[in-house]
Amino acid sequence: MTDRNSIVKIAVISLIATAVIAYIVLNSKSDYRPIVVGDKAPTFVLPLLSGGKIDLAKERGKVVFLNFWATWCTACKEEMASMQWMYNKLMKKYPDKFRMYAISIDSSDVPDIVIKYMKDNGLSFPVLLDTKGRVKEMYKTTGVPETYVVDKRGVVAIKVIGPRDWYNPVNYQPIESLIAKD
């Protein structure tokens, strides 16, 4: 009898453990939903590399270009020159209607590596520091580079996974159209 009771107890415990694990796995997968075009952009406050902070919620009324990147990312470096060109072009034409923020996911609490990277590559657009990956998690990025263009109402209007050639009118004109739209 004792062996039979032990087997029943083990079977019941195994069933309960399996049910708990299945519940955790199924619920964790259902919580993961990537941010897509048409979603409200998650708001955040992050420190600027140059000092101060940016609160995305306070950027309503502007088109905001958010690019997640890292200094170790080769594909990020490939698109940065064209991002700088687009930043210069759109900020000159729409200084009160456009913002660009490159969100560095480098984990170092010391921004020296990011400062050196920006200087070495001749980049001047604003950089936000997401050293703990909190905003990266909010946006559920799949990697770097990844870009979100948020419209004036705070809604994701464009999402780009991977590098993009921002010199190409096919890529920057949709952003300019969002800015020009009232």
Mean pLDDT over 151-179 rounds to: 97
Place of tokens 């609490």: 109
> Quick check: 32 and 140 in contact, CB under 8 A?
yes
Q: Both 118 and 155 in a single domain?
A: yes
Domain span at 79? 45-180
| Token pair 């952003």: residue | 175
Do 70 and 152 belong to one domain? yes
Q: Kindly state whether residues 89 and 134 are assigned to the same domain.
A: yes
> Does an H or E element contain 19, and which?
helix 2-31
Predicted confidence (pLDDT) per residue in 86-99, tens digit: 999 999 999 999 99
Mean pLDDT, the chain, rounded, equals 92
* 10 within some domain: yes
Is there a domain that residue 40 lies in?
A: no
Does 153 share its domain with 174? yes
* Res. 58: pLDDT tops 90: yes
Residue 67 pLDDT class (50, 70, 90 cuts): very high
- DSSP lists the bridge partners of residue 64 as 99, 150
Strand partners, 69: 104
Are 100 and 173 within one domain?
A: yes
Domains: count for the chain:
2
- For residue 115, tell me if it sits in a domain: yes
Residue 39 lies in a domain: no
Tell me what pLDDT residue 151 has: 98
CA distance 181 to 125: 23
Residue 27 and residue 53 share a domain: no
Q: Is the pLDDT of residue 140 over 80?
A: yes
Q: What is the pLDDT of residue 177?
A: 97
Same domain? 22 vs 55: no
* 21 within domain boundaries: yes
